[in-house]
């Protein structure tokens, strides 16, 4: 799943500032996919979590004229995968700062919805949303998390995260 699956008129990077102001009538909502670059076993690509978040954004925004999808953030908090080749991580604190600054920069939008597909991002997202809420920025919401996680009958085995 890539951004090619999202209508190009809904991709923030494809729009010009006048298009946002005019076509979205200053009621734009930004949907921000948050993924990761990390191992998922020998059978899946490193950007699996980014693909999941991007797909969720594409599905959730279909037919919504005032919603645009921002470019996915893939270099995030994946320290738990540091020992695996291909992992790129900026850590929890740095990623929390990135989220805070990203949302602050979107004051022109009605809101920002964070959609993440990587469980390792949860703490950074939690810290960032707490900071933004303390600033009384009501334009940031976390609406999709790693909540599809299911457990197998064996409590030590997570069956939704593959490869380790």
pLDDT for res 1: 45
Which of 26-35, 44-53, 95-104, 131-140 is predicted with the least confidence, judged by mean pLDDT?
131-140
CATH number for 3-144: choose from 3.30.565.10, 3.40.50.10490, 3.40.50.300, 3.40.50.10310. 3.40.50.10310
Q: Give the number of residues written for the chain.
A: 164
Mean pLDDT rounded to a whole number for the chain: 80
Q: Model's pTM, two decimal places?
A: 0.80
The confidence band for 50, taking pLDDT boundaries of 50, 70 and 90, is very high
User: Residue 64: in which H helix or E strand, if any?
Assistant: none
pLDDT at 163 over 90: no
pLDDT for res 33: 95
Question: What residues pair up with 73 in beta bridges, in sequence order?
Answer: 34
pLDDT for res 142: 57
pLDDT digits (tens, 9 = 90+) for 21-36: 765 676 788 999 999 9
Domain boundaries, the chain: 3-144
Q: What is the DSSP letter of 112?
A: E
Question: What residues pair up with 114 in beta bridges, in sequence order?
Answer: 32, 142
Percent of the chain, pLDDT > 70?
76
Burial class (CB in 10 A: 0-12, 13-18, 19+), 9: exposed
CB 31 within 8 A of CB 61: yes
CB 50 within 8 A of CB 69: no
pLDDT for res 80: 81
pLDDT for res 5: 57
pLDDT at 89 over 80: yes
Give CA–CA dist 60/46, Å, rounded. Answer: 23
Give CA–CA dist 69/79, Å, rounded. Answer: 26
If you search the block for the tokens 């197998």, which residue do you land on? 152
Report helix, strand or coil for 99.
helix
pLDDT for res 141: 63
Give CA–CA dist 125/34, Å, rounded. Answer: 9
pLDDT for res 148: 44
Question: What residues pair up with 112 in beta bridges, in sequence order?
Answer: 30, 140
Which has the higher per-residue pLDDT, 67 or 10?
67
pLDDT for res 23: 58
Give CA–CA dist 149/57, Å, rounded. Answer: 18
């Amino acid at each position: 799943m890539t951004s090619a699956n999202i209508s190009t008129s809904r991709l923030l990077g494809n729009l010009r500032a006048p298009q946002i102001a005019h076509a979205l009538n200053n009621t734009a909502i930004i949907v921000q996919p948050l993924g990761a670059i990390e191992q998922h076993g020998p059978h899946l690509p490193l950007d699996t979590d980014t693909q999941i978040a991007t797909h969720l954004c594409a599905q959730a925004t279909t037919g919504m004229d005032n919603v645009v999808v921002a470019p996915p953030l893939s270099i995030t908090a994946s320290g738990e995968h540091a020992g695996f080749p291909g992992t790129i991580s900026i850590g929890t604190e740095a990623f929390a700062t990135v989220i805070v600054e990203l949302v602050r920069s979107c004051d022109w939008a009605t809101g920002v919805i964070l959609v993440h597909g990587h469980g390792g991002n949860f703490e950074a997202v939690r810290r960032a949303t707490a900071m933004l809420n303390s600033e009384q920025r009501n334009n940031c919401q976390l609406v999709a998390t790693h909540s599809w996680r299911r457990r197998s009958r064996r409590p030590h085995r997570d069956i939704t995260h593959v490869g380790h």
